[in-house]
Amino acid sequence: MEATGSFELTKTSEKDFQILETLGSGTYGRVVMAMEKKTGTHVALKLMKKRKTKEQSFLHELCVSITLSGHEGIIFTHPIYVDSEYFYVLTQDLAPAGTLHSLIEPSVGIPEVMVKRCAVQLTSALEYMHDHSLVHRDLKPDNVLLMDKDCFHIKLSDFGLTQAIGTLVSSMSHIIPYMSPELCQLRSYEALVLRPSMDTWAFGVLLYVAFTGYFPWERAVKDDPLFKDFIKWQRYGNQTAPPGHWTKCSTKAQELFHALLAEDPTIRSPVTITMNYLHFPWGEDMPDNSLETVEDSVEVEYLDNKFIVIEGEDEYIVIEDRGDIECIIIADASVEAVSSSSNTVLVLSDNAELHLGSEVEIA
């Protein structure tokens, strides 16, 4: 048994699991569904090829994953591991509905209400990581796991590239659309100080891909025509029409994406700015009274005691931290908000008279 931080790692055997099916595979290994023989519990096993993975890298990912498992928006990793002849193996809770990537229809995306559900939960998970001085570094739809097909409960996963804020990182051999421009432009002999702004960029690209079904560009470099057009539009604002598929986004959504995808990382907004835009339509611009209709059954999310979102057929409530004032945006629902020193609680009330745009001061 190996002690690591505030938990202990227990080495177990591959014979303790029955492999049921392969969920995904790649260069470095594969993920399978398995049943733990002792308990009958179905889990996901991430098998990492030894010839492709250093033991130190595996233990780093394992320990980071376990450390972050306390957050409801991050996949739970069990404090056990398997060291087989050909694989290092970590054990995680099973995500029965697959990945966000599997939901996104090319050229279409997924419904706006589902994108916003993902935005809320990923904002919370990334804020949790950043508050713990960690940067994910590999945020993309493939690494967002679904507990259900409607995105009411999703989980951030895959912490193989996760490093501490302030770590020096080098260029990567393969550039993907989610990589920030400062990382894409890094030369082989250069290093970059790791900042949460890199996750912010990837988060913005992920939301755009989920919402539109298109990549905004192939690479965030000046010789990519789509990226070049985006930067020109960002710099000149109203003087330049939105290029390409950015026309699918409302004015408010464009404003959000400009904040998340600022070319200069020093002025790039934190991921939490997304919470300020949930009550606006992200599709084509609509009249102000269009906010009074929100779909789907009631769902409550508690996010680090800072945000609570409730969605329902006739209600949509967002609480946003604004110093001593918390703003409740609400449509056709009666809600009373109370606060304590440790958290904020929403309680349904028959006599509360709040309306769309109501603001409540929390004492």
Q: What are phi and psi of 90, to 5 degrees?
A: -115, 155
Task: Give dist(CA 141, CA 153) in Å, integer.
Answer: 14
DSSP per position, 147-166: SSTTSSSEEE---SS-EETT
Residues 246, 273, single domain; the answer is yes
Q: Same domain for 117 and 211? A: yes
The count of structural domains within the chain is: 3
Closest C-alpha to 92, from 79, 76, 103, 104? 76
Last residue of some domain: 93, 122, 149? 93
Q: Say yes or no to pLDDT of 346 above 90.
A: no
Domain identity same for 233 and 322: no
Whether pLDDT at 3 is above 90: no
pLDDT at 356: 41
- Asked whether residue 222 falls in the same domain as residue 108, the answer is yes
The set of catalytic residues is 138
Residue 342 has pLDDT above 50, yes or no: no
Work out the average pLDDT over 8-36: 92
| Domain termination site, one of 69, 93, 117 | 93
Residue 132 DSSP symbol: T
Q: What's the pLDDT score for residue 27?
A: 83
* CATH code at position 64: 3.30.200.20
Out of 38, 64, 93, a domain closes at 93
Q: What pLDDT score does 285 carry?
A: 60
Q: Which residue has the tokens 């233990």?
A: 59
Instruction: Supply the pLDDT for residue 354.
Output: 43
Considering the domain architecture, whether residues 125 and 151 belong to the same structural domain is answered as yes
Q: What confidence tens digit (pLDDT) does each residue in 137-169 have?
A: 999 999 999 999 999 999 999 999 999 999 999
Under the banding of pLDDT at 50, 70 and 90, the label for residue 7 is confident
Poorest-pLDDT segment among 64-73, 253-262, 280-289, 340-349: 340-349
- Judge whether residue 171 has pLDDT over 60: yes
Q: Are residues 232 and 319 in the same domain?
A: no
Q: Report the percent of the chain where pLDDT is more than 90.
A: 71
Provide the pLDDT for residue 36. 95
What pLDDT, on a 0 to 100 scale, did the predictor assign at position 5? 53
pTM over 0.85: no
Same domain flag for 87 and 110: no
- Report the CATH number at residue 155: 1.10.510.10
- The arithmetic mean of pLDDT across residues 250-274, rounded, is 97
Write out pLDDT tens, residues 210-219. Answer: 999 999 999 9
**For residue 109, is pLDDT > 60?**
yes
Q: 8 falls in which pLDDT band (50, 70, 90)?
A: confident
The answer to whether residues 162 and 266 belong to one domain is yes
Phi, psi of 254 (to 5 degrees): -60, -40
CA distances from 47 to 14, 31, 55, 80 (A): 11, 6, 13, 13
Average pLDDT of 242-268? 96
Q: Cβ(333)–Cβ(353) under 8 Å?
A: no
- The verdict on 62 and 172 lying in the same domain is no
Q: For 300-315, write each residue's pLDDT tens digit.
A: 444 444 444 444 434 4
* Range with the largest mean pLDDT of 81-90, 309-318, 347-356: 81-90
Q: Which residue has the tokens 């290029």?
A: 243
Residue reference for tokens 């097909």: 149
Q: Among residues 253, 325, 315, which one has the least CA distance to residue 285?
A: 253
What would the mean pLDDT of 252-280 be, rounded to a whole number? 97
Residues 308 and 247 in one domain: no
Average pLDDT value for residue range 10-38 = 93
**Are 123 and 256 contained in the same domain?**
yes
Instruction: State mean pLDDT over 316-345.
Output: 39
For 304, left (φ over 0), alpha (ψ -120 to 50), or beta? left
Residue with tokens 């945000």: 307
CB within 8 Å of 66: residues ≥ 6 apart: 4, 7, 9, 77, 78, 79
Which residues span the domain enclosing 12? 2-93
Q: Are residues 115 and 231 in the same domain?
A: yes
What is the predicted pLDDT for the residue at 174?
A: 87
Lowest-pLDDT range, 117-121, 229-233, 258-262, 284-288? 284-288
Q: Is 6's pLDDT higher than 90?
A: no
pLDDT value of residue 206? 98
